[in-house]
Amino acid sequence: MVRVGIGYDVHALVAGRKLVLGGVTIPHSKGLDGHSDADVLMHAVCDAILGALGEGDIGHFFPNTDPRWRGAPSRVFLEEAARQVASRQGRIVNVDSTLVAEAPRINPHIQEMKSRIAEALGVGPDRVGIKTTTNERMGFIGREEGIAAMAVAGVDLPA
Ligand code: MG
């Protein structure tokens, strides 16, 4: 039985932080603020997979009050989501995602981001979709105050 899940995340862009998207550090004047590395794309993908399982969200598994996750690479969150799938004898069918960012240009990094997400989930990169769009200069994303990501996941679980 294939189940689907949805994930959404947003983080603020601030000076003095690295910008990590899909596990790739991208040169930029600002980075995303957060307790972990604030990888908004990996967080959305993680929530999509957990949602397909009917599980709690990323904050349930990794509370941002827990010092263990301070500065943590978000890969560990995806690895845990994949473990949750495996523990149910399930299989990740695919994930698809959209990053909404006004800057910087993300397209040159998409293949590497797909590889990093696929590695963390233990699936082939052909099962990971990443699209990017701007917010047409509107709102907080358009003003480059933050970056948002949304994702869906299909997970095949034994009936
Ligand atoms: Mg987050």
pLDDT in tens, 83-96: 999 999 999 999 99
Q: In terms of residue numbers, what domain contains 125?
A: 2-156
Question: What spacing in Å lies between the alpha carbon of 112 and ligand 1's midpoint?
Answer: 20
Question: What spacing in Å lies between the alpha carbon of 109 and ligand 1's midpoint?
Answer: 20
First to last CA, the chain: 6
Question: What spacing in Å lies between the alpha carbon of 118 and ligand 1's midpoint?
Answer: 19
Question: What spacing in Å lies between the alpha carbon of 38 and ligand 1's midpoint?
Answer: 6
Question: What spacing in Å lies between the alpha carbon of 9 and ligand 1's midpoint?
Answer: 5
The reported pLDDT for the residue numbered 64 is 86
Task: Assess whether pLDDT exceeds 90 at residue 46.
Answer: yes
Residue that has been written with the tokens 């981001």 in this structure: 113
Question: What spacing in Å lies between the alpha carbon of 90 and ligand 1's midpoint?
Answer: 25
**Residue type at position 159:** A
What is the percent of the chain with per-residue pLDDT over 90, rounded to a whole number? 89
Work out how many domains the chain is built from and give that number.
Answer: 1
Task: Assess whether pLDDT exceeds 90 at residue 70.
Answer: no
CA distance 24 to 15: 18
Q: What is the CATH number of the domain that holds 68?
A: 3.30.1330.50
Q: Give the pTM.
A: 0.96
> Which band of pLDDT confidence, cut at 50, 70 and 90, is reported for residue 61?
confident
